[in-house]
Amino acid sequence: MTGGATAAPASQSHIPVLFSQVMEALQVKGDGTFFDGTFGRGGHARGVLDKLGAGGRLLVMDKDPEAIAEATRLADGDARVSIHQGSFAELAQWDATADGLDGVLLDLGVSSPQLDIAERGFSFGKDGPLDMRMDTSSGESAAQWLARADEREIADVLWTFGEERMSRRIARAIVERRATAPLTRTAELAELVARVVPRGKDTSHPATRTFQAIRIHINNELADVEAGLAAAHDRLKPGGRLAVISFHSLEDRIVKQFIARHAKAPPANRRLPQLETFTPTLRALGSAIRADSNELGANPRSRSAVLRVAEKLEARA
C-alpha cells in the first residue's frame, strides 16, 4: 500500500504518525463504524471523523484519563462519537462494538503527549515522578514496583521487554540503591542506568531499553496487544480493516505473527495426519509500511513506526 494525499489535521499540536497511510488503510466509508483503541490526542480519530457521514460512528477507547478528556471535548455533542475509558484489549466487552466494526485502529505504545509531560514519568529526558502508568487512576507505578520487586524479577523484565543485555547489572544496581534511598524520579533512574551501562557506539541513551521495559511491564502492554488483536478480529465485519502501528520489534512481531496466523496455513508436517483444512479469516494487505522522507523530516518520532494492515474475510460455509 502507498500513502495517500490526505494531510494531517492542521489543528493538532502534535503530528499523528503515518496519518495519510492510516486513512488509506482504513478505507473510511460515510456510514461505517470505526474503532480507535488508542485515542491519544485524537489525530487519527479526527481524520476518521472528517470522513464519516451523519450515519457513521466513531468508537473511542483509551486507558489514559487525559486522552478521554480530550476525546470528550472532540465529541462535544456529536452523536456519532462514543467514548469508553479502558484498554483496547477489552473492546469486545463494550456493547457499542457488538454490531461489528468496519475498521479498527491501534496505535501502540506511549503517545507523544505522554512523553512530553514530565509528570507522567515516561521520559528519561525529562525529570519527573517515576510513574509510567497510562491509567494514572489505578495500578502500581514504576516507583512502587521498583521498590518491591526482587532483583531477579527486575532483571527478567528488563531482558524480556527491553532486550537489555545488561539487565542483571542494572537490576543489581537498582536493588543496591534502594537499600539507602528509594528511586522516585525519572532522572534518578536514568542516571543510575547511565552509570552502570557503557554507552559504546550506540547513540541512544543507555536508559532507553530500561524505560521501555518497565513501561511495558507496568501497563501490561504486550498481553493487551495480543488480547486486543483477538478481540478486533472477532468484532470486524467481513471487508473490515485492521490497522496497527507498532514502535518496537516486540509489538511488531506480535502483530505480524497474528496476521500471518489468520492469513496463511501453517507449514504441513508430513509425519502427522492433517485433521482439518485451514480457512483464512484475514488477508494481509501489503507488507510493513513506514514513514517516508518527508514525514521523517517533519516528525522524527515516526522513524520507528511500522504500520501493518489486514482485511477481514467473508466466513466460508
CATH number of the domain at 194, please: 1.10.150.170
Ligand-binding annotation for 257, yes or no, is no
**158: containing domain:** 117-219
pTM: 0.90
Strands (E), 77-212: 81-85, 101-107
Ligand-binding annotation for 64, yes or no, is no
Residue 136 resides in a domain: yes
Residue 201 resides in a domain: yes
- The whole-number pLDDT of residue 143 equals 98
The total number of structural domains in the chain stands at 1
Q: What is the pLDDT of residues 68-93, one digit of tens each?
A: 999 999 899 899 999 999 999 999 99
Among candidate residues 205, 184, 195, the one with its CA nearest the CA of residue 127: 184
Q: How many CB atoms lie within 10 A of CB 107?
A: 25
Residue 172 resides in a domain: yes
Ligand-binding annotation for 42, yes or no, is yes
Residue 187 resides in a domain: yes
Q: What is the pLDDT of residues 214-233, one digit of tens each?
A: 999 999 999 999 999 999 99
Has residue 12 got a pLDDT over 80? Answer: no
Residue 207 resides in a domain: yes
Grouping H, G, I as helix, E, B as strand and the rest as coil, residue 305 is: coil
CA atoms in the 13 A half-sphere facing the CB of 162: 25
Q: What percent of the chain has pLDDT over 90?
A: 79
Residue 209 resides in a domain: yes
Residue 126 resides in a domain: yes
Region 152-173: mean pLDDT is 97
Per-residue pLDDT band at 300 (split at 50, 70, 90): confident
- Which DSSP symbol is given to 248? S
Mean pLDDT across the chain:
91
Residue 133 resides in a domain: yes
Ligand-binding annotation for 99, yes or no, is no
Has residue 6 got a pLDDT over 80? Answer: no
Ligand-binding annotation for 40, yes or no, is no
Ligand-binding annotation for 36, yes or no, is no
Region 264-289: mean pLDDT is 83
Grouping H, G, I as helix, E, B as strand and the rest as coil, residue 210 is: helix
Ligand-binding annotation for 212, yes or no, is no
